[in-house]
Structure 1
Amino acid sequence: MKIHQLRALVAVADTGSVRGAARMLNSSPAAVTQSLQLLEVSVQLQLVSRTTSGVVLTEYGQAMLAHARLILSQMSRAQEAVEAIRGNTRKRLSVAVSPWVALTFLPAIVMRFRERMPQVQLEFFEGVLAIANPRLRDGSIDIFIGRQSPGSMASEFAYRPLFATGLAVVARQDHPYATSSSLADLLDLDWLVAMDPETEGHMPFSMFERYNLKAPRSIHFMHSTAVSVALLKGTDMISLFPWPLIELCATRDGLCAIPVREQLDNSMVGIITRTGEPLDAASRCFVDCLIETVRDDAWTQISDVRRTMHSVDILV
């Protein structure tokens, strides 16, 4: 198994064709095809399959792809570590950020970071689990500021808690069930929740079991807060939001918390990184800037942030 073979597999997965992979790798289609064939010989499995619409990865290819991405990412980090010793700081830092943290603390964090490392290019992703966890796993993001996944991923990722807050059921302010006092009243509505690939999106509904209620009959998944807000504003869908996000969206987007009497689950937000992998200089600097910003009382002078943090416990 060779590095150029793994690069060919990743390139084919990203482009969907041998020709596209060849262009990405500045190579020839024949060379990419040969690399894939040699990789299949080395693992004795079919990794790709040709279709009328291009090349798709088999089940074995998908399993190999996750490891290939991580290996290539680790090689890049090793090179960056050597360059850092030479005095050349890495060029890019990729971070996924929970939406309400992005709307409150992120600008101040970035300003601090840019003052200290102006040569580093920043890349941001929305910090929902279905986007952040796979990218954190394969090395395409470095830090996830967001909610910890339950279960098996606890040993895969290192977690440092930052905030604790509650969850609430959210809807548009003129929703016909906006004043409902029980979860039982909401079971026949369309629920919109963030997909969690580790639990198939059903973890938020453990609260229904706790109160001897059936899960909602209609559950839909979203991977974008902007999409979720748009649907909540324009339909009778309801969702679960952390309180800080509700505070931010209440006035601006016409949303409200439905005052159900049942106690909902808490939401924990923290700094999540890959277990056993030391943070490089840029990652350490970003984490330092984040914690300094949260501990700095300057944010209390910003009315929107101060109102939002009224419902948050700071854990650092």
Structure 2
Amino acid sequence: MKNHQLRALVAIADAGSVRGAARTLGLSPSAITQALKDLEECLNAPLIKRASSGATLTEFGNTLLTHARLIVSQVERAHGALNEMRGEPGGKLSVAITPWIALCFLSEVFTQFRKRMPNVQLEIFEGFLSVANPRLRDGSAEVFVGRQAPDISSPEFNFRPLFSSGLTAVARQGHPLAESRSLADLIDADWLVSLDSDMECRLFKKMFYRNGLPEPRNVHFTHSLTVAASVLQRTDAVSIFPWPLAELCVARYKFCAFPVREELADSSIGIVSRSGHPLSAAANCLIEILLETIRNSDKTGTAEARRALQSTELLF
């Protein structure tokens, strides 16, 4: 197997067609087709199914794709490391950032990073666990700034804590249940939650169980703050947010936090990376800038950021 063949496979999987992959890689469709043909002959297995609507991966292709993403990513990082040694940092840094950290700090981090690393291209994903952890595993993201996986200590990832904060139930201002004092009053509501794994779904249900309540019957899932905010603003759905995000959304989206008497779970926010994989100079630079920005936020941060940070405990 050769790197250009694996890059072709990854590009086809992402673009959904040979032509799309060719555009992504700046190659001709015939070059992509030849690379896949050579790879299939090398492995003696069909990797894609071709159709008029595009191309999809076979079972063999999907199995190889997981490894191909990791290999392609590591080769790119190897080139980046050598360029760093030559004093020519470049390439791409892919990171995932949880919404409230992005809303509070990302603009300043972005500005300072571009000054220090002008030749590095940034790729930024919305940082929910369901989005970030798979990308960390396959190498398509190097760093995740976000929640620690609940009730799990995995040797697969390194976790460097930044904040601890509580959770709260939220909804639009004027919600008919806005004055509810107990989770029991919210059982029959439509819940729109950012559940990131089966384990976290169980923990959400446990939040009700430990307070002697049945689990809500109507639970819906989202992995986008924009989608969640749009639905919550226009319906009577309710959700669970970390307190810093709730503070931001009170001002931005006219949300309210339910004054429930039950204690909800705490969550930890930190820097997550894969164990056994040294971070690139670009990743370390971005982390350094993020830490500097957080430390200076009480003096130079926005009023919104300072308000959000009042509901967190700094852990570094």
Same fold (TM over 0.5): yes
Q: Is the 8 A contact 1:201 1:221 kept in 2?
A: no
Residue aligning to 1:315:
315
Supply the distance in 1 between the matched residues of 2:214 and 2:186 (Cα, whole angstroms).
11
> Residue 291 of structure 1 corresponds to which residue in structure 2?
291
Counterparts in 2 of 1:194 and 1:84: CA distance versus 1, 3 Å? same
Contact 2:163 2:269 in 1 (8 A): yes
Q: Is this contact kept in 1: 2:168–2:257, CA < 8 A? A: yes
Asked if the contact 2:297/2:306 (under 8 Å) is kept, the reply is no
| Deviations 1:280-305 (CA, angstroms, capped at 9, x unpaired) | 21111111111122222644764322
User: Could you tell me which residue of structure 2 aligns to residue 88 of structure 1?
Assistant: 88
CA RMSD of aligned residues (A): 2.4
Deviation at 1:130, TM superposition (A): 2.2
Using the aligned pairs only, state the percent identity.
52
User: Residues 150 and 200 of structure 2 are in contact (CA less than 8 Å); yes or no, is this contact kept in structure 1?
Assistant: no
**3-state DSSP of counterpart to 2:19:** helix
Structure 2 match to 1:280:
280
Alignment of 1:76-115 (within 5 A): 76-115=76-115
* Other-structure match for 2:14: 14
Instruction: Write the letter of the residue equivalent to 1:36.
Output: L
TM-score, normalising length from structure 2? 0.90
- Counterpart secondary structure, 2:310: helix
Change beyond 3 A, Cα 1:228–1:89 = same
Mapped partners of 1:290, 1:244: distance in 2: 17
Deviation string for 1:237-273 (max 9, x for gaps)? Answer: 1000010111111133211111222111111110111
State the shift of 1:106 in Å: 2.2
> For the Cα contact (< 8 Å) 1:149–1:198, is it kept in 2?
no
Q: Which amino acid aligns with 1:243?
A: W
User: Which string of whole-angstrom CA distances, capped at 9 and with x for unpartnered residues, describes residues 76-117 of structure 1?
Assistant: 110111111111112432222111111212233333333433
Change (3 A) 1:24 1:249: closer
Question: Does the C-alpha gap of structure 1 residues 142 and 181 become closer, same or farther in structure 2, counting only changes over 3 Å?
Answer: same
Q: Which stretch of structure 1 is more off in the superposition, 179-188 or 265-274? A: 179-188
Distance 1:153 1:70, change over 3 A: farther
Contact 1:172/1:233 (CA < 8 Å) preserved in 2? yes
Answer yes or no: is the 8 Å Cα contact 2:184–2:213 preserved in 1. Answer: yes
Counterpart in the other structure of 1:238: 238
Unaligned ranges ≥5, structure 1: none
Using the alignment, how far apart are the partners of 2:11 and 2:44 within structure 1? Answer: 20
How far residue 227 of structure 1 moved from its aligned partner, in angstroms, is 1.5
Say yes or no: does 1:217 pair with 2:217: yes
Describe the superposition over 1:145-185 as per-residue Cα deviations: whole angstroms up to 9, x where unpaired: 10122467822221100000000010112111111122122
Q: TM-score, normalised by structure 1?
A: 0.90
List aligned pairs for 1:24-43, cutoff 5 A. Answer: 24-43=24-43
Deviations, residues 41-74 of structure 1 (Å, cap 9, x unaligned) = 5445443233453221133322321211110010
**How many angstroms apart in 2 are the aligned matches of 1:287 and 1:302?**
20
Change (3 A) 1:9 1:286: same
Shift of residue 229, structure 1, vs aligned partner: 1.0
Letter matched to residue 49 of structure 1: K
Contact 1:194 1:201 in 2 (8 A): no
State the one-letter code of the partner of 2:254.
G
CA distance 1:42–1:150, change in 2 (3 Å): farther
- Alignment check: 8 A CA contact 2:298 2:306 kept: no
Q: Secondary structure at the match of 1:154?
A: coil
Aligned residues: 316
The alignment status of 1:260 with 2:226, answered yes or no, reads no
Q: Deviations along 1:180-217, whole A, 9 cap, x unmatched? A: 12212212211111141464744433212222333211
> Partner of 1:66 in structure 2?
66
* Distance across 1 between alignment mates of 2:235 and 2:205: 21
One-letter code of the match for 1:159? F
